[in-house]
Chains A and B, each alone.
Chain A
Amino acid sequence: MTKKITFTIDGKTIDSKSGQSIMDACEAQGIYIPRLCDSKGLVPQGSCRVCSVKVNGRVVAACTQPVEDGANIEHETNEIQGYRKDLVRMLFHEGNHLCPICEASGRCELQAMAYRFGISQATTYPYLQPVRPVDASHPDIALDNNRCILCGRCIRASRDVDGKNVFEYIGRGIHKRIGVNGDCLADTNAELSDYAMSHEVCPVGCIIRKGEGFFAPVGERQYDMDKIGSSIESPGNPSSDKLIKVHQIDPGCFNKDMP
């Protein structure tokens, strides 16, 4: 049973109802909480932590944490924004995210999130430059695991929406990756019409729909002018301004002591 509750976010009091996540409660009020592993229509799993907020002094994932009566939520504080920025930065360093050659550039949620945070480019950490296999066996779909950020959206979309279980996590820690239900994608029952293969599901350029690349010209792509989350944010919210000055170009912090 849902009941009326009240919580505060960044000092602003919000009337809401119980039985929903912090993210959904905020979204209903026109407050966008950044997210990468969560997507509309999929079960939230709270793995990317980009939606981190502080509830009563404790950092939680806004997509999985239920909203409570009287909760004091910190959302766009310097500390929380710093965590989110670093998480997005580390994703850029963990995979091979070569935007100039990627067909997802312009509609990539990872890239758009970095633009939103004003990350001119991350250099605080060394680049891992992993070597991961590309699976182009399927006639209509290719998988470039070098761009995968392990959000698991394809796993949930295939399992819960398509009822197919094409994808699953394999391994743990740094060895964790997305595997397919067979030796290669061609061995599975994956089809181009699957929801898991749509642009809405893969936030980066890992799941490639063959023959559809670079269809939108530069300047007319999804996030070229519109900030990610601007469709959720209410116009009164200052961070919904289309043109926002970023703080400054990030200085390269890595190898500070070198000549």
Chain B
Amino acid sequence: MKKKRIATTSLAGCFGCHMSLLDIDERIFDLLELVEFDRSPLNDLKKFTRRCDIGLIEGGCCNEENVHVLREFRQNCDILVAVGQCAIMGGLPVMRNAIMHSDDPLRECLEEAYCTPKVLNPENQIPNDPALPLLLDKVYTCVDVVKIDYQIPGCPPSGETIWQALNALVRNEAPALDYALIKYD
């Protein structure tokens, strides 16, 4: 069987889902028999080398770079999988959307984070280096931006969950999960 090419990325996530992928322990050797990793933080490849079969997305979109990367993944992957609650419904970053009552919500959010005396930031400066990606007005889920083919729920999904889902995907099957593996937390 031809090896499937997998690309992974972490957008507005905490890398917990990637940690969970590594949590399949020694089965990673079995996985490497079936797949080859393309663009991924695991091998530090920053660009796609060729078209991929499966793309794993961790995290939603909180800045313009996230949107750019997500669109690139959609263009270069046959199957796009949202991994974890952040990619599926925004997760923890989406809590930012709940302060939308304000007239200038993003400013209020940044001022709370950087200009209150709780953090060490003597000049009360909000980071605005041109090299930093522009923040979006609110956090968007992956389905708000591109078409997502499958979702693996969990925060993070357990190693077992990712293992079962990936095993089905590399065999061109729709993933099925045991009751005990469907978790939203």
Contact = CB atoms under 8 A, between A and B. Distances in A.
Interface of A: 92, 96, 98-102, 105-106, 111, 114-115, 118-121, 123, 126-127, 129, 131, 146, 218, 224-225, 227, 242-252, 254-259
Contacts, number: 126
Nearest to B177: A246
A137 B72 CA distance: 47
A99 B184 contact: yes
Nearest to B84: A100
Interface of B: 71, 74-75, 82, 85, 88-92, 94-95, 97-101, 138, 141-153, 155, 165, 174-180, 182-185
A114 B184 contact: yes
Contacts of A244: 178-179
Nearest to A117: B182
Given A105-B184, A111-B184, A254-B143, A131 B98 contact: yes
Contacts of A120: 151-153, 177, 182
User: Residue among A100, A102, A120, A126 with the most chain B CB within 10 A?
Assistant: A120
B147 A129 contact: no
29 contacts: A92-B89, A98-B94, A100-B85, A100-B92, A105-B185, A120-B153, A120-B182, A121-B88, A121-B153, A123-B88, A123-B141, A123-B143, A127-B90, A129-B98, A225-B180, A242-B179, A243-B180, A244-B178, A244-B179, A246-B177, A246-B182, A249-B152, A252-B82, A252-B143, A252-B148, A252-B150, A255-B143, A255-B146, A259-B74
B184 A252 contact: no
A101 B148 CA distance: 24
Nearest to B102: A131
B95 A101 contact: yes
A247 B150 CA distance: 13
A251 B153 contact: no
A249 B176 contact: yes
User: Residue among A92, A252, A259 with the most chain B CB within 10 A?
Assistant: A252
B151 A131 contact: no
B63 to A, nearest CB: 18
Given A100-B91, A100-B184, A242-B179, A126 B149 contact: no
